[in-house]
Amino acid sequence: MAYSFPEEVLEHVFSFIQCDKDRNAVSLVCKSWREIERCCRRRIFVGNCYAVNPKIMIGRFPEVRSVELKGKPHFADYNLVPEGWGGYAYPWIAAMAGAYPLLEEIRLKRMVITDEALELISRSFKNFKILVLHSCEGFSTDGLSAIAAYCSNQLGDPSFCVTSDEAKPRLDSAYTG
């Protein structure tokens, strides 16, 4: 006969485990721990946007509040990736828009994010607080305006940080509410 702690106790214990590696290890102990961990996971990191399908992530982790996605490999920063290679954020944003209405934070790195994707973000997540675009491309001030116009009504005045370096101009944006 197997004995286990009640689910409520395990959920409370799991809430103190912050390290992704530790959470992954906990989910491997047994099926019931995996199920509890999947329901209480609030933050997801995807190091390669092509390594997993967004629908699989959504099915595995239904209560996510924060998502960090990386698109193109690091050497894309040095123009070593062909134009139009990929790293598109829209399929991820569209999938998350229907599944995570309480999403609060999106961090994207080296991804192609369109103005339409930014507008979808601005209208889909009612508790949205943080948007970080690091070395991203494909958007304009129209997309940022959609974020500022819609999200500022809910969360106050958004702030954007624009930086560039001589080697490769880029727009790094941080929206915090």
User: Is there a single domain that holds both residue 124 and residue 171?
Assistant: yes
Q: Mean pLDDT for each consecutive 10-residue tract of the chain (177 residues)?
A: 72 82 85 84 91 93 94 80 85 95 94 95 90 92 86 51 36 47
pTM for this predicted structure: 0.78
Helices (H), the chain: 7-14, 20-27, 31-40, 54-60, 90-99, 115-124, 141-155
173 strand-pairing partners: 133
DSSP-derived pairing of the beta strands 130-136 and 171-176:
antiparallel
Is 17 buried (19+), middle (13-18) or exposed (0-12) by CB count in 10 A?
middle
Range of the domain at 164: 43-176
**Is there a contact between 133 and 112 (Cβ–Cβ < 8 Å)?**
no
User: Is there a single domain that holds both residue 53 and residue 36?
Assistant: no
- At residue 164, the pLDDT reads 33
User: Is there a single domain that holds both residue 61 and residue 106?
Assistant: yes
How many structural domains are present in the chain? 2
